[in-house]
Amino acid sequence: METFSHFTYNPLDTLQSEIRLISLQPSQHDNDIECQLLSANLDEQPVFEALSYEWGPPTPLSHCSWIKLDGHNSPVRENLRAALSCLRFKDKARIIWIDALCINQKDVKERNHQVAQMGKIYSQASRVIAWLG
């Protein structure tokens, strides 16, 4: 099992239409997945794609897959790891909004605020990718 290193989200400005985006780093298909979090204001029309996928049932930490998120080992469900592996480019970063990674799921206030913005997020995305596994 991977070693989990504690990751802390920087707070979002709830008075603005601020969201987080993932910069999915380029790599070959079999290499580790590395992502960086970026902040963006929806009112400034950032260019990004959005990923829609089935979360599936809760997964115990011992059965999670792992990615690097801002340099920290971070657990994700296998279907998200598979999507990220297939979606990354070989030669450039890809900017994507993914609810499981871009929303601090442990912060109820933030989660509620971000869920209320999901219609705007999906409608402003340059493309919405539906991952069926």
Q: Which of 119, 123, 130, 129 is nearest to 45 (CA)?
A: 123
pLDDT at 1 over 60: no
Q: Is the pLDDT of residue 3 over 70?
A: no
With a pLDDT cut of 90, the percent of the chain lying above it is 75
| pLDDT at res. 2 | 47
User: What single-letter DSSP state applies at residue 14?
Assistant: T
Q: What is the pLDDT of residue 28?
A: 81
Quote the CA–CA distance of 133 and 130 in Å, as a whole number: 9
- Domain coordinates of the chain in residue numbers? 18-131
Name which residue leads in pLDDT, 61 or 91: 91
Residue 6 pLDDT class (50, 70, 90 cuts):
low
Compute the average pLDDT of residues 19-47.
95
Instruction: Give the pLDDT band of residue 4 (cuts 50, 70, 90).
Output: low
Helix, strand, coil percent values for the chain (each to nearest 5): 25, 30, 45
> Which has the higher per-residue pLDDT, 6 or 38?
38
